Structure 1
Amino acid sequence: MEKWIMGIFLIIGSVEDIRKKEISGIYLGIFFLSGLAVRFIELIFGNGISPVVSWIAGCAAGAVLAGAAKLTREAIGYGDALTAAVLGVWLGFPALIEILFLALLLSAVYSAWLIFVKSTGRKYKIAFLPFLAAGYLIWLLLAGEGKSG
């Protein structure tokens, strides 16, 4: 169920990021808080401490990206950083890192295409959430999660 929730979250967020070049704080907050609630319920009903460490680390990775957003004057957007925190809470640290790697790889290929084929400048801004969504879908397929049955 979590994987469907994250897919819907990323698709809706991607549309908003493409249209407005920003992601609603309320939207991010709802998914973040609901992820925390689910994780705390899991903790109370006994899934052990190691999943807690994973989602705290995932959330911390989002916080590190928020710091990078501050340092780079939002070359990395706060919405992208908070989206990473949401993914970290819902999916855990290892999954977040894998998805971020895939998203960065995809966005680098697209950026190279924009620069070399479309002749856009280096400062051209792209929406990153669609790459997170694509990275997430690839991650699901590579992990065998896309299979039915």
Structure 2
Amino acid sequence: MARQLALATSECPVARALEAIGDRWSMLIIRDAFDDIRRFSDFQKSLGLARNILASRLKALVELGIFDLRPASDGSAYQEYVLTERGRSVFPIVVSLRQWGEQHLFEPGETHSVLLDNEHHEPVVSLQVRSRHGKLLAPQDCHRQRVTR
């Protein structure tokens, strides 16, 4: 527990983000939400996740402001988990994980999914880190600096 508190209060944004949404189930729930899954039962079918674990992760994601819980859009008695602006801002993280996995975790000829844009039905261009001036940056081109918000 002390380690979790240390991560949640760390000065490192990476540590805080991982503590908040970095476990595999939370990321896969968010991934499924980008594929328009909104109902508890649909998340469970997609992920094959035990109900108690799914309920716990969804509750935490609602508390973090990643999802809003709303009445079902079809007027039924169900509720839906809808991504908030904060939740939608996770999209580049999911895309970068996907692209890294596509590039490094599949053998040649092995079947996998790719992300296509809806307008042209072409693969999404790989994300890149660039300076404010448009220069492509590598790790050695960057440094960390402590700031106060």
Fold match, TM over 0.5? no
TM-score, L = length of structure 1: 0.31
The structure whose residues are more often strand, as a share, is 2
- Greater relative contact order structure (CA < 8 Å, 6+ sep): 1
The structure whose residues are more often helix, as a share, is 1
TM-score, L = length of structure 2: 0.31
Q: Who wins on radius of gyration, i.e. which is larger?
A: 2
